Amino acid sequence: MSNYVNVFLKDIDTHNSFAQLKQQIQSAFTSTYCYDNALFYKGFLLVTTNQVKHIAFANPEESKTIYSLTSFHRRLATEYAKPLADRKGVDDLETKANSLEKELVRTVAGYGEALQQVTWQEVQATLTQGEVAVEFVRYHFYRPEPTDSIMYAALVLKSGNVPPVFVPLFEEKELMQITGFSETDKEAYFHQIYAGKRKNDDGKSLRDLIYAPLEAALSGVSTIYYAPDGLIHRINPDAIYLDEKATFADRFRLVRVNSTRQLVIPFAMGNGKPAPALIYGGIDYDADSTALLTAANIQIGKRQIPDGLGALNRGGDRGGKWRFLTNSEKEARAIEALFDKKKYPVSMLTGKEATEESLRAFSLSAHLPSPRVLHLATHGFFFPDPAEAHDGKDAAPGEVIFKENENPMLRAGLVMAGGNHAWLNGKAYKGLEDGILTAYEVSQLDLRNTELVTLSACETGLGEIVGNEGVFGLQRAFKIAGAHYIIMSLWKVPDQETQELMTLFYKRWLEGKMAIPDAFRSAQTEMRKLYPSPYYWAGFVLVE
């Protein structure tokens, strides 16, 4: 640490007192300690689970344990999707699953590497001139006795031989006063929030809370790698206006990560051969048991997937009761055509073929590589903690099961073919999955070969915020499954504009030969020209 003390000594002029010097050094020690804590604790379980699975899959003996564990979790998912009175053998299945998980931890080779602790110096070593890593942190305020205040701060780390800087931001209730939801006019609502027109009781806007305190620390910066925390998970910083014309994304290149430790430990793709892109769209949520049983016989392992039977799309927002998505067929076919044009193998599942079984097949076979690209244009859902929002009395029987569940990974999910039956009746067709793919079930998939998952659906980025682990929902589930990049939504996105955004993104990526983050940023910039309100273009975020 003496090198950093020397840096401070050089910066102290002759008029500064030793008390000031001592305060600066203490501040540096505090910020470095906080940054290392954030690197270790933020998403700790997510990272270790993902890495242990990756290591275990590489060992034939240990991979058998993984597949056995997945089998138990699949059976648990089936039981969790039933009303409490109808569940059978849950305690026994949970005991067996926990036992296998412990065995895996004890025996997996390389487990120590999976728990590798990363330091702020290692993160700093990856940064080049003009790059900065930002760890947002959320904490309870003490003075010294505990208070009910939840505070936010940013730990800003630049390249060079300087420690991170601790930047206080705001109290959580200040942000909640700005983002309190209104259903009246969504276009105006999101514009007011991100353009700074909507303010809290102290007259502060989103810009005042997030950007203004960081402005000095971001001097000379062009690229920001940032890891959200708390309610910042539900904000798209790219869309925050810094003045009348320029947004955060106009001035900086922002890269959203789960933790800045990812700069040190990069994502590792699986060793399997790249599989075709797999596109879901135009899903028949009302498919009956006969149609679903026929579709379930598709030999996915032999790649006998239809080229596309006609996708369904529903008008309006991608949310609510599960009706056809009127633009999703157009979206799916346009993306399929772009892959075909580049001669990249692609399969599209629509109508009754877009079953839960077809997607879950990747968790059942050791010989079926996951798709390099997985695009899901469908309905998504997330329900808040039932203890805080108990409104299941007006819901359909199946909806109650998910809405009232204590496990947040069962309160978020995607709707597949035939999903309306279980949603409305509380049970699946006999011998079939229920058509409701929960985040819990997604986490059991093997997507280690999947470079990109696009969740073209409502609120797929939402979930329950749990301490240092972040958001428990679809985002976490696809990360546990092994996906690299995830495109997900923060609110109920408009259907027509979503189709336009997705088509633009894939066109820029495949035809423009841009990197995925650059293609996504370019597509949103183009959409902003067509639709200035953030409601139309900023609802989706890319997480690496």
**How far is the C-alpha of 295 from the C-alpha of 303, rounded, in Å?**
14
Burial class from Cβ neighbours inside 10 Å (0-12, 13-18, 19+) for residue 115 reads middle
477-514: per-residue pLDDT in tens?
999 888 999 999 998 888 889 999 999 999 999 998 89
pLDDT exceeds cutoff 70 at 238 = yes
Cβ(371)–Cβ(277) below 8 Å: yes
Cβ(118)–Cβ(261) below 8 Å: yes
Low-confidence winner among 88-92, 288-292, 499-503 (lowest mean pLDDT): 288-292
Q: Rounded to 5 degrees, what are φ and ψ at 533?
A: -65, 130
508-518: per-residue pLDDT in tens?
999 988 999 99
Which three-class secondary structure state does DSSP give residue 500? helix
Q: Which residues contact 71 (CB under 8 A, 6 or more apart)?
A: none
Average pLDDT over the chain, rounded to an integer: 81
**How far is the C-alpha of 360 from the C-alpha of 74, rounded, in Å?**
9
User: What pLDDT score was predicted for residue 148?
Assistant: 85
Low-confidence winner among 244-258, 302-316, 478-492 (lowest mean pLDDT): 302-316
Average pLDDT of the segment spanning 152-163 = 93
Residue 5 banded pLDDT, cuts 50, 70, 90: very low
User: What pLDDT score was predicted for residue 497?
Assistant: 92
200-217: per-residue pLDDT in tens?
999 999 999 999 999 999
How many CA atoms does the CB half-sphere of 419 hold within 13 Å? 29
Find which of 32-41, 50-59, 225-234 is predicted with most confidence, using mean pLDDT.
Answer: 225-234
User: What pLDDT score was predicted for residue 304?
Assistant: 33
- 337 compared with 95, residue with greater pLDDT: 337
Q: Closest Cα to residue 172, out of 147, 190, 155?
A: 147
Burial 17-34 (b: 16+ CB within 10 A, else e): eeeeeeebbeebeebbeb
Neighbours of 176 (CB within 10 A): 12
CA 483, 357, 317: angle at the middle one, nearest 5? 70
Residue 77 banded pLDDT, cuts 50, 70, 90: confident
pLDDT exceeds cutoff 80 at 88 = yes
pLDDT exceeds cutoff 70 at 430 = yes
pLDDT exceeds cutoff 50 at 131 = yes
User: What pLDDT score was predicted for residue 158?
Assistant: 96
Cβ(350)–Cβ(312) below 8 Å: yes
Burial class from Cβ neighbours inside 10 Å (0-12, 13-18, 19+) for residue 91 reads exposed
Q: Closest Cα to residue 428, out of 79, 13, 71, 2?
A: 79
Neighbours of 543 (CB within 10 A): 22
342-385: per-residue pLDDT in tens?
999 999 999 999 999 888 776 555 556 788 999 999 999 888 88
pLDDT exceeds cutoff 90 at 44 = no
Reported pTM? 0.82
- 146 compared with 52, residue with greater pLDDT: 146
What tokens appear for 477 in the block?
């589930």
Burial 407-442 (b: 16+ CB within 10 A, else e): ebbbbbbbbbbbbbbbbeebebbeebbbbbbbbbbb
Average pLDDT of the segment spanning 193-198 = 93
The proportion of the chain whose per-residue pLDDT surpasses 90, expressed as a percent, equals 42
User: What pLDDT score was predicted for residue 306?
Assistant: 28
Q: Closest Cα to residue 154, out of 77, 54, 237?
A: 237
- 449 compared with 269, residue with greater pLDDT: 449
